[in-house]
Structure 1
Amino acid sequence: MADTPLTLLKRAVRPAARPASPRGVLVVMCAGYFLVLLDVTIVNVALPAIGARLGTDVGGLQWVVDGYALALAALMLTSGTAGDRHGHRRVVLAGLAVFGAGSLACGLAPTAGALIAARVAQGVGAALLLPGTLAVIGRAFPDPAGRARAIGVWAGVGSLALPAGPLLGGVLVDCLGWRAVFLVNVPIVLVALVRAAAVVPESREETARPLDLPGVVLGALLLLAATYAFIEGGRSGPAAPRAVTAAVVAAAALVALAVVESCRGDDAMLPPALLKRPAFDAANTAAGIMNLGTLGTLFVLMLYLQSVQGRSPLLAGLALLPLFTPLAVLGPLGGRITSAIGARLPATAGLLVAAAGLALLVRAHAHSGYGVLLPAFLLWGTGLGLLTPAVVAAAVAAVPPERSGLASAVNNTARQTGGAIGIAVAGAVAGSAADQSRFLRGFHAVALGSAGLYAAAALLALAVLPGALLPAPARGD
């Protein structure tokens, strides 16, 4: 009897007969990370086209980006714990499947509301997938120096999505329309799903903590209300009733989350004992600021390049290559530097260099030539290339090996939370590109504010991050 498609799928996801080599595992996990980042940059290039075709304003475009980021941030900690408890292989495969289904729904969405809902589904899949990739790599490379180098490769390969996203997105939007930027994920997910099932060994923690559902609900409510307050404040003014109500809800959710988590102790979504590690806190604070400044500025930058300067999606994507290429090239080098000298100096240098690039964006005006943008992009991207592997490696090294899934989830949660808030704030500050004078003033304010936050994070990294990557004690959280 011929095999049915369901039989073939079950056979494809059957665990491998023998463990794959660490390098084979690293390749597949980098592919999953690539998918998550590719979606971010492709969508940014498509935003003006989405707004025009679906008839949505800047606030709607913010939700198209933030629907994905909020789901990532809200579920990241839970998915990391779920991987520790139920097996990272199982969670990674589920993440790929949900991400693929969400991508298909995005590509077929008839309205802005449907697109935002599908983006949330994509974010759920990415939340299941992303922390698992880093946890699996941590298991495959137990030596701290080898793990730091592997994380550098992970960051570099994943970062290839950043220059690839604008180029591929520009081509797809120009030639096939904005829907293609989502539909392109579907065949990639299918290949990655089958390959991941073949090479990734199962792993779980015997003593993994239970899922913290109250913490998840309150954390999601906090992020949603805070983001809504910023976006609605940008639309209607900070004193608008909806913005004020959302801010009050966010404050109440924050208080409730603090009370609930302190009562749950070691079973909390984010154990309080983990926050008593200064290096862990500093690494995650720097990671959050990194994405807050980068994704917030990138959101208004894409509107500037297309809606203000009149570039096509493809030309806008080409313009961003000097920003994203250094990030992709320097990722592996940054990992090697971090493994050799620790996270402190690479993180500090990366933050300061990126801050200088962001500050140079204040020179950009409606009719500025590309020569004004190029130095800013090069410095910004170079700084991010040094910073990314340093903060990730520092966060993972600050906790015991058995908490690697939780550590990677916290680090990515910090990054996605920062990105979601950054997009909400940047859109509120810049406003609509139709009012070019106001938009440019807001664009400059976003760039300078991001540069200032980067400089402050550099001081924190210099003071707190370790000068060498040492294994954390195996006892406690």
Structure 2
Amino acid sequence: MRTRWLALAALCFAELLVMVDNTIVNVALPTMARDLDAGISGLQWIVDAYTLVFAGLLLTGGYLGDRFGHRRMLLTGIAGFAVVSVLAASSQTLGQLIASRGGLGLFAALVFPATLAIITSIFTEPKQRAAAVGIWAATSGIAVAVGPVLGGWLLEHYSWSSVFWVNLPMAVVAAAAIVLVVPGTRPESVSRFDAIGLVLSIMGLGLLTYSVIEGPHFGWTDPRTIGGLVVAGIALGLFAWRELAIEHPILNIRLFANRRFAAAAGMISVAFFALFGFIFLITQFFQAVKGYGPFEAGLRTLPFALVMAVFSPVAMALAHRFGPRMVSVVGALLMSGGFALVEVSSRMSGYWELIIWSMSLMAMGLAFISGPCTQVIMDALTPEQAGAGSAVNDTTREIGGTLGVAVLGSVLTSVYTSGVGERLADLGVPQAATGIAEDSVMSGVEVAARAPSEVAQQLRFAVQDVFVEGLHSAVWVAVAVTAAAALAAAYFLRGVPSGRANGTPTIVDDPAVLDVEGEAVAVRP
């Protein structure tokens, strides 16, 4: 019994290693923008190169774990993650860093699905499994908030490369713990790998993300933007068609015919869409508008981790008592309310008066969505689907996060680029300096700092005000998406049992137990 929980701790630490890299670079973005001459789209790619490759290869990672053993793939992923971290830390150009971030995403895709698959294999008793999955889900959310704090502290003492060097000691600790306390897993008998499906999924997701990120720069009506979105839609449509047509798909699309499974996966995707996008924006707000240093900015994201840690077990207990539907609906409304609070913020808004409360509501909402919806997803899987099924769960998170940074970042870019150009031109700023300010808000602050003293403050306020206008526009998207998710969860998660009697029921994907609507019903063990 004790070994089982030690194994959970080791697996959660491995999960922490790869999840922290989703957000640890956020507080370093202003420094990277200056050192690597990166505009807003370059900064988006530093973040999204990791999450895009991570999301695109998670299904492959789950398949390889099923075929060769999840523990073996877990250790392989950790080792590769450490090696590529050295390359990322040694990057001299923006292109090198983006490529290294993609490499980190590749090995993270081996680690992440293996952690949840092993957890579901070693925790067989329903209540213990629910608790373990809740801890795993909480770790994922906490890691998202720990990243900026750790990154900020490192940047206060070292260069931006330190956010990658720190992966090495963490990888050593994770690998040692796994070798000592995590049991080996037997490879499953799996079918031939669907390489065509993998290529179509990566092509579709890659083109979609690229088109959204570069849309503000090419123009939303530019043939490159429209063409990229159309081809992405075609590729994803072909991927779905192929997965339905072949006997052994890498992604079991039929699972999404179960409205509860689909709704739970969608809720997680929406939550991480909003969260990743907001962290990308708020860390720049803290440094460019509020003037905080990297560590101060990272420290001010800590409420995410603290609130997640407190409310994740509460969410699982409430889901066990009242069912995941009610809990996840409340979670989506809490997130929507937290984002709505940001809409009343301004350049002068205080952290303790407003911002901390909005962030706390978002984190509480994430806790109410993540654990209960993860449990719904995993209850829909047979043991043979553990690897690929956990990869579906992980993929929804990473795709949501990738698109969150892309969409919210692009809304901000569209508003900021057009607004700051007009504002600075009205103030008589030369075209060359205005062009520099349009690259990113940190470039705008730098232009203001180099201006004559009598106009420097006026220019800085103009840049900051335009950035806040862009922030408001981007956050409106998050408000709308999370509010719509609450309505969707209320409808599509109806009928999910609370599990108050005889343990937590299991949602099975078996035609023998389908109800008259063609959906899986709860079957008590």
TM-score normalised over the length of structure 1: 0.91
Aligned pairs for 1:64-463 within 5 A: 64-204=46-186, 206-264=188-246, 266-370=247-351, 371-431=353-413, 432-433=440-441, 434=444, 435-463=463-491
Structure 1 counterpart of 2:10, one-letter code: V
Query: Could you say which residue in structure 1 is the equivalent of 2:424?
Result: none
Does the CA contact (< 8 Å) of 2:148 and 2:301 recur in 1?
A: yes
Cross-structure match for 2:505: 470
Structure 1 351/171 Cα, relative in aligned 2: closer, same or farther at 3 Å? same
The verdict on how the C-alpha distance between 1:25 and 1:340 changes in structure 2, with shifts beyond 3 A counting, is farther
Question: Shift of the alpha carbon at 1:146?
Answer: 1.4
- How far off its partner does 1:206 sit? 3.7
Alpha-carbon contact 2:343-2:476 (below 8 Å) kept: yes
Q: CA deviation at 1:207?
A: 4.0
In 1, Cα distance between equivalents of 2:470 and 2:225: 20
Give, in whole Å, the separation in 2 of the partners of 1:161 and 1:388. 13
Give 1:163 deviation, angstroms.
4.1
Contact 1:323 1:378 in 2 (8 A): yes
What is the rounded CA distance, in whole Å, between the counterparts of 1:333 and 1:308 in structure 2? 35
What is the deviation of 1:153? 1.6
Q: Rg bigger for which structure?
A: 2
CA 1:419–1:157: 2 relative to 1, 3 Å: closer
Distance in 2, Cα, partners of 1:227 & 1:161: 23
Deviation at 1:347, TM superposition (A): 1.1
Question: One-letter code of the match for 1:358?
Answer: F
Distance in 2 between residues matched to 1:177 and 1:328, nearest whole Å: 30
1:374 is displaced (CA, Å) by: 1.9
Q: Compute the displacement of 1:204 (Å).
A: 3.9
Shift of 1:475: 4.3
Q: Deviations over 1:324-374 (max 9, x none)?
A: 320122223323333444321221111111110011001121222221212
- 1:42 aligned onto 2:21: no
The whole-number CA distance in structure 2 between the counterparts of 1:333 and 1:210 is 42
Deviations 1:130-177 (A, max 9, x none): 011011000111122211111112233444434432222111112101
Query: Per-residue deviation at 1:392?
Result: 0.9
Task: State the Cα distance separating 1:56 from its structure 2 match.
Answer: 0.6
Per-residue CA deviation, residues 257-288 of structure 1 (Å, 9 max, x unaligned), is 23322321x31121232222111101111111
- Equivalents in 1 of 2:144, 2:406: separation in Å? 21
341-350 or 179-188, which deviates more? 341-350
Distance 2:236 2:136 in 1: 33
Name the SS for the 2:343 alignment partner: helix
Equivalent-residue separation in structure 1 for 2:190 and 2:260 (angstroms): 23
Shift of 1:59: 0.3
CA apart distance, 1:100: 1.2
Q: Give the letter aligned to residue 109 of structure 2.
A: A
Contact (CA 8 Å) 1:153, 1:335: kept in 2 or not?
A: no
- 2:505 is paired with a residue whose SS is coil
Runs of at least 5 residues in structure 1 that lack an aligned partner in the other structure? 1-18
Per the alignment, do residues 272 and 321 of structure 1 end up closer, same or farther by CA in structure 2, a change over 3 Å counting? closer
Change (3 A) 1:313 1:273: same
Task: Quote the offset at 1:391 in angstroms.
Answer: 1.4
Please report how far the alpha carbon of residue 474 of structure 1 lies from its aligned counterpart in structure 2 after TM superposition.
Answer: 7.2
Q: Kindly state the Cα deviation for residue 463 of structure 1 after the two structures are TM-superposed.
A: 2.2
Amino acid paired to 2:156: D
Is the Cα–Cα contact under 8 Å of residues 95 and 129 in structure 1 kept in the other structure?
Answer: yes
Q: What percent of counterpart residues are identical?
A: 36
Distance (whole Å) between structure 2 residues aligned to residue 209 and residue 278 of structure 1 = 27
Distance 2:316 2:85 in 1: 31
CA RMSD of aligned residues (A): 1.9
